[in-house]
Amino acid sequence: MAGGRRFRAGDGDGPEAAIRFADAAAERELLLDPELKFGELFTDGRLILEVGSLPELLAVLLGRNHGEPSLRQVRALATLRRLGRRIAGRNTLLRARRNVERHYDLDDRLYALFLDADRLYSCAYYATPGMSLEEAQTAKMRHIAAKLLAGPGQRVLDIGCGWGALGLYLAEVAGCASVRGITLSAEQHRVAQARAAERDLSGRVRFALEDYRTLQGSFDRIVSVGMFEHVGPAHYDAFFRTARDRLAEDGVMLLHTIGRTGVPWPTNPWITRYIFPGGHLPTLSEMMPAIERAGLMLADVEVLRLHYAETLSAWRARFLAHREKAAALYDERFCRMWEWYLASAEAAFRYEDAVVFQLQLTRRNDVVPLTRDYVAEAEVRLRRAEEEVARGEVEPVRVAG
Amino acid sequence: MAGGRRFRAGDGDGPEAAIRFADAAAERELLLDPELKFGELFTDGRLILEVGSLPELLAVLLGRNHGEPSLRQVRALATLRRLGRRIAGRNTLLRARRNVERHYDLDDRLYALFLDADRLYSCAYYATPGMSLEEAQTAKMRHIAAKLLAGPGQRVLDIGCGWGALGLYLAEVAGCASVRGITLSAEQHRVAQARAAERDLSGRVRFALEDYRTLQGSFDRIVSVGMFEHVGPAHYDAFFRTARDRLAEDGVMLLHTIGRTGVPWPTNPWITRYIFPGGHLPTLSEMMPAIERAGLMLADVEVLRLHYAETLSAWRARFLAHREKAAALYDERFCRMWEWYLASAEAAFRYEDAVVFQLQLTRRNDVVPLTRDYVAEAEVRLRRAEEEVARGEVEPVRVAG
């Protein structure tokens, strides 16, 4: 093909991949701004994969990293910290809603093509090797419910409830008295409401189109999964102060968010331009000052890394298996964009410093047991409850509206 | 007694305590600077406990806190953050050594009066309720060895090795190939060396009088228990950069340190004046920037709170049981000072925001298993190895010097 060039990387044993540029300008653009341009050129069909898959290409390019930042990178990143914060910008109530619409209001049928049946759009928990995506997503809800010390009598708030799976789990399996789930996506809200009604849980599980900042009330448990990535550093104080104000004095909060373990740094520009506008992946050093100032007490931090690489790999495999349906919904260009999104995100968890933080937060130092043993014990109980629900042995408790 | 006044606090159900001032000036001094003066006046015999014990008095004063900082306190603390950092000051090589001598070179017989037989001077781990101090200290070493993924073939560095118990455990029970323990206390160094020789472990376990900043070499495992409190915020970058430089590329580090979950704040002035000069209790927001800049990857954070309250309570009970021996070693005034130290520290963990952080750090994202299940599994194996060592079934491996 005219103007094309070839590259090949990888040694004898490792993965191998080759790319070709469709035009001479493409290569120049890539060299000038690789973080943005790799995804753009691939999406536009100007960077063409000739040998290997995207994961193999990324393994060739990043495979030796094991998540360790090079010292050069660390120094460069440190000096750019303030700039990064400015870039991350402010998510006003209006912009927050627009950002969410941009991603989560994509055609519902698209998400059905690559997510599990329960529609969990966050890192799964591969509790044992060889789990399917479905099993790992259920294990994630079980793990979160265990660390929330979730149980009967509790009022639960789910900030960023998605399509409702976790809220329904907390009511149905963990037996929580009531769940209020909030989202900014009209599409998610519609689906979540319908699912609650379908399972006769509308009395106990209410989903609302609402911003966390305008919320009122007090809750025994607060959970937030995969939403904090959209908050933005300028609003961390507001987020944690709101959480503290909404949390009962003997309450427990579980925050599950993508983050990074290197120095603070603006999120990949391709991701913020094409996939998650307004998004920022926080380091603990960015989150902790706001948590401390809010008067929330840190009770535990779990750091999940390769779980998300496995999750993204499973999503990508499903997406590729249904690629023709996705192309019919959108077009080829969209499919390449989505493929790059899933493959580059997987590489960030496998080779770079991307992680999922699960932060357990409280207002008192005596509401979480002394050792972590309670987590495994609760998971055994919850698994039994899941089986009872599946066998229809649990009669949903109806609470008057 | 002339000039005395009485106070009484507590309601019908709770603990009760009454204090009396020996002179009118004492009360004024207390009101002007309670953080410093409570301990001083008690030590000097000018604040006299007439009803109840010190823990009961502190429960009356602080019992409703559950570790939750009041909002007023949070705001006041935030504005004083920079001042606190200045107060915390710099620990040069010389001053670091002097600070350590001040506390850890106290008469060895004093520590024998209140610590466990293995001489572990840090938070125990009460893995199951009702454990004795001895059992909980062994459980702590087991827990740390498990999270270190400690095992045969490894070179271990123990920064702040105390009287050597953990280093000996890692060699003898966990089977690590070699342990290098460093301390700045001549007294601890002498005792640790003697214990290694006694157990025929001198070939594999070497203790040295050395500062972490002058250390050379590469280690598969780095552990530091109860030493970071003495480092001081001005030296956090140096500490973590040194740790990263000493850690093998596939290594694991476990840092166990007292800290706080509120906003950064100077450590109690009485404690830094009389007990731990140069000491500072870090928040995670103070530690994380240095960890991120050093290029170390956070793999796990465990937050232990009431474990240290229990430990300090056990130490205090033992100290009081041998109070006469302590008075013979020093004097009555010293005994009151030590009593206040142990009781006020216990209250800080029970009612304030003091915690122990156990941070697991690596250089690669694939050296720690995906889930935390490996910890309990390793603890079972280590417990079996402890029993074998106790029965004399393990022949110490001799390595040529």
Residue A78 lies in a domain: no
Q: Do A295 and B366 touch (CB under 8 A)?
A: no
Same domain, B254 and B305: yes
Residue A73 lies in a domain: no
Mean of all residue pLDDT scores within chain A: 87
Q: Is the dihedral of CA A368, A369, A371, A373 positive or negative?
A: negative
Check pLDDT > 90 for residue B283.
Answer: yes
Same domain, B150 and B232: yes
Alpha helices in A44-151 (DSSP H): 54-62, 71-79, 81-88, 93-104, 108-114, 133-147
| Percent of chain B whose pLDDT exceeds 70 | 84
Q: What is the pLDDT of residues A42-68, one digit of tens each?
A: 999 998 988 888 888 888 777 766 666
Chain A, nearest residue to B362 by Cα: A68
Same domain, B173 and B289: yes
pLDDT at B103: 65
Q: Do B303 and A298 touch (CB under 8 A)?
A: yes
pLDDT at B83: 38
pLDDT at B276: 79
- From the candidates A72, A353, A371, which should be mutated to test the interface with B, based on the most B CB atoms within 10 A? A371
Residue B129 lies in a domain: yes
pTM for the model stands at 0.89
- From the candidates A80, A286, A288, A363, which should be mutated to test the interface with B, based on the most B CB atoms within 10 A? A288
Same domain, B93 and B39: no
Token digits of residue A240: 């944690």
Reported as a pLDDT band with limits 50, 70 and 90, residue A399 is very low
- Among the ranges given (A12-21, A61-70, A205-214, A233-242), the one the predictor scored with the smallest mean pLDDT: A61-70
Closest in A74, A289, A297 to B285, CB measured: A289
Residue A83 lies in a domain: no
Distance CA B258, CA B358 (A): 9
Same domain, B285 and B382: yes
pLDDT at B77: 43
Chain A closest-CA separation from residue B334 CA (Å): 32
Residue B221 lies in a domain: yes
Residue A328 lies in a domain: yes
pLDDT, average across residues A306-316 = 96
pLDDT at B85: 38
pLDDT, average across residues B355-371 = 96
pLDDT, average across residues A112-134 = 95
pLDDT, average across residues A368-393 = 96
Closest in A66, A301, A355 to B366, CB measured: A66
- Among the ranges given (A49-53, A90-94, A196-200, B54-58), the one the predictor scored with the smallest mean pLDDT: A90-94
Same domain, A161 and A196: yes
Token digits of residue A73: 């990178």
pLDDT at B378: 98
Domain ranges, residue B42: 18-65
Q: What is the pLDDT of residues A230-281, one digit of tens each?
A: 999 999 999 999 999 999 999 999 999 999 998 887 778 888 877 877 789 9
Domain total in chain B: 2
Chain B, nearest residue to A286 by Cα: B285
Distance CA B197, CA B205 (A): 9
Same domain, B261 and B369: yes
Residue A84 lies in a domain: no
Same domain, A61 and A94: no
Check pLDDT > 70 for residue A77.
Answer: no
Same domain, B224 and B324: yes
Same domain, B309 and B170: yes
**CATH code of the domain in which B136 resides:** 3.40.50.150
pLDDT, average across residues B382-386 = 97
Q: What is the pLDDT of residues B314-331, one digit of tens each?
A: 999 999 999 999 999 888
pLDDT at B64: 67
Chain B closest-CA separation from residue A55 CA (Å): 17
Check pLDDT > 60 for residue B291.
Answer: yes
Same domain, B157 and B41: no
Q: Do B66 and A363 touch (CB under 8 A)?
A: yes
Q: Quick one: which of A138, A136, A113, A124 has its CA closest to A318?
A: A113
Residues of chain B numbered 263-292 and touching chain A (CB < 8 Å): 263-264, 283-285, 288-289, 291-292
Residue A76 lies in a domain: no
Q: What is the pLDDT of residues B42-93, one digit of tens each?
A: 999 998 988 888 888 888 777 766 666 554 444 444 444 333 333 334 566 7
Q: Quick one: which of B380, B346, B85, B122 has its CA closest to B227?
A: B122
Q: What is the pLDDT of residues B263-275, one digit of tens each?
A: 887 778 888 877 8
Chains A, B: CB contacts within 8 A come to 135
Same domain, A27 and A109: no
Residue B372 with chain A: CB contacts under 8 Å: 302, 372, 375
